[in-house]
Amino acid sequence: MEIWQHVESFFALLFSRDVLTQVAAVVACLLAGWFARSALSRAGAPRGAPAPGTPAPGTPSWGYLVAECSIAVAPVLIAMLLVLAARFLLVERHFGTTVLDAALRVMGTYAAVRIGVFLFTASLGNKSWMQHWENRVTLGIWFAITAEYLGWLDPIIANLDNIGLAAGKSRITLWSILKLLFTLTLFVLAAAWISRGLDSRLKRLKSLAPSTRIGIAKFANAFLIGLSVLLGLNAAGVDLTALTVLTGAIGLGLGFGLQSIAANFVSGFVLLMDRSIKPGDVISFSGQSGTSTENFGWVQELRGRYVVVRDRDGVEMLVPNQQLISNPVINWSYTDPRIRLKLPVRVSYKDDPELALKVLLQACEGQERVLQEPKPASRLMHFSDSGIEMELRFWIKDPQEGVNNVRSEVNRAIWRLFKQHKLTIPPAQREIRVRNAPLEMD
């Protein structure tokens, strides 16, 4: 085959004295570059963990990018400089420089590809999945360019195109699959890069609410990724009309098996657009009115299918978006973060109710989280069987800091003041009278 002929001719030239000398020089230069890379890796900070004082991951500074790019490309540049020096020495001794010239082009190509892939990955942010594939993508692009330069690309493509299976009127080859994957990856990466730029611009628009910006960014990302897949399939030569059956099957799946997932995605967009629930809101899922703290937590993140809610114990709940749309939800910080708390208190009939009402108000004095405007209020609610039922009402403005803890502080203050003023909290009492009891019970 033609590719093996190229390989045989290559090895025939390799074992000549002139070529062996050049190859040894190139290997020595590459080893020197590898040692330089090891030294730079030990001296430099690891990728994704900038030194203290540098910007947070996701927004790296130009200085950080230049430092990281230098560590990545410096070994190749050092090897290229050493190859240039070796070329000068061999020319002085009348050796050929064909291998050295080819090595310089190959190394220069690798350096250019490495810089391009690095900058593209950095533009997607430190949390991008491209960061884990950066070296593989670099090697793949560099190998394709190098194979084209050495004249190996066309024979490789021809051999890959000969490996395939016949599927009806069309033929699926290994080369067509690789071409399809490469084209789809290229279009998806371009869509991700455009989506990243759009997201950065939306974050700078302070006129839009945070939930609206998140909703637009997520919708744009989903739309661009879907469009890129369609364009990639079309560019790869796939007939999109042949996908009508698959599209119909997906529609049926959404109508039956995937209706819950589709409902959660639609509900997520509704939550983002109507701004009823935003990151940082304090919500509870008790379905009861008032200040019940059952299932109390903070909205950490709005995702496409669910909402991340963190409770007071540090446990993160993944609540489906549809549940937030269809069930009652208490948003404690929807318009005004201030909420009123009520503490029921019982006083004995032997005590003065007017004094008890004043003492309840004194329990709110000195409490840092209790607001003085609106003022706390104490109320006599009704007369029960066991005592006089009263209620202390006060306002707080920071329910995200907890509700039961401020209740506990006020209750402790009530207990101390009641003991100082000789006020009693009567326990519930029940009197049982037995009529016509048998004689043996007397």
CATH for 347: 3.30.70.100
d(CA 119, CA 121): 5
β-bridge partners, 379:
391
151 lies in the same domain as 21? yes
- Please say whether the beta carbons of 73 and 111 come within 8 A: yes
Is 155 found in the same domain as 120? yes
Q: What is the pLDDT of residue 324?
A: 84
User: Which residues span the domain enclosing 304?
Assistant: 264-331
Pairing of strands 164-167, 170-173: antiparallel
Instruction: Say whether both 286 and 372 belong to one domain.
Output: no
**Same domain (yes/no): 302, 387:** no
Residues 153 and 292 in one domain: no
Residue 158 CA to residue 54 CA, distance in Å, equals: 50
Q: Is residue 301 part of a domain?
A: yes
Max Cα-Cα span within the chain: 134
Question: Would you state the pLDDT for residue 181?
Answer: 80
**Residue 289, C-beta contacts closer than 8 angstroms, at least 6 positions apart:** 330
Domain-ending residue, one of 285, 313, 331: 331
- Among left, alpha and beta (phi > 0; psi -120 to 50; other), residue 234 is alpha
Q: Would you state the pLDDT for residue 273? A: 73
pLDDT of 97 = 73
pTM of the model: 0.46
Residue 68, both tokens: 């990281």
How far is the C-alpha of 300 from the C-alpha of 282, rounded, in Å? 10
Is 413 domain-assigned?
yes
* CB atoms inside a 10 Å sphere around CB 58: 10
| Co-location of 37 and 130 in the same domain | yes
Tokens of 359: 């003492």
- SS3 category, 206: coil
- Spatial neighbors of 105 by CB under 8 A, at least 6 apart, are 149
**Which pLDDT does position 2 carry in this prediction?**
58
Both 9 and 59 in a single domain?
A: yes
393 and 283 part of one domain: no
Whether 300 maps to a domain, the answer reads yes
Q: Domain total for the chain?
A: 3
Nearest to 375 by CA among 389, 356, 362, 388: 362
Query: Which residue type occupies 260?
Result: S
For 93, phi then psi, to 5°, come to -100, 15
| Chosen domain end from 281, 307, 331 | 331
Q: Is residue 297 part of a domain?
A: yes
Domain check: are 135 and 44 in the same one? yes
- The whole-number pLDDT of residue 268 equals 79
Q: Which residues of the chain have pLDDT under 70?
A: 1-19, 22, 37, 40-67, 69-71, 124-131, 166-170, 206-212, 215, 238-247, 249-258, 286-295, 437-442
pLDDT at 55: 42
Domain-terminating residue out of 132, 163, 194: 163
Same-domain status, 373 and 396: yes
Res 394: pLDDT = 93
Cα dihedral 188, 216, 116, 154 in deg (nearest 10) = 20
Contact 281, 331 (CB under 8 A): yes
Q: Is 183 inside a domain boundary? A: no
**Same domain (yes/no): 274, 155:** no
Residue 414 sits in the same domain as residue 346:
yes
Which amino acid, residue 169? K
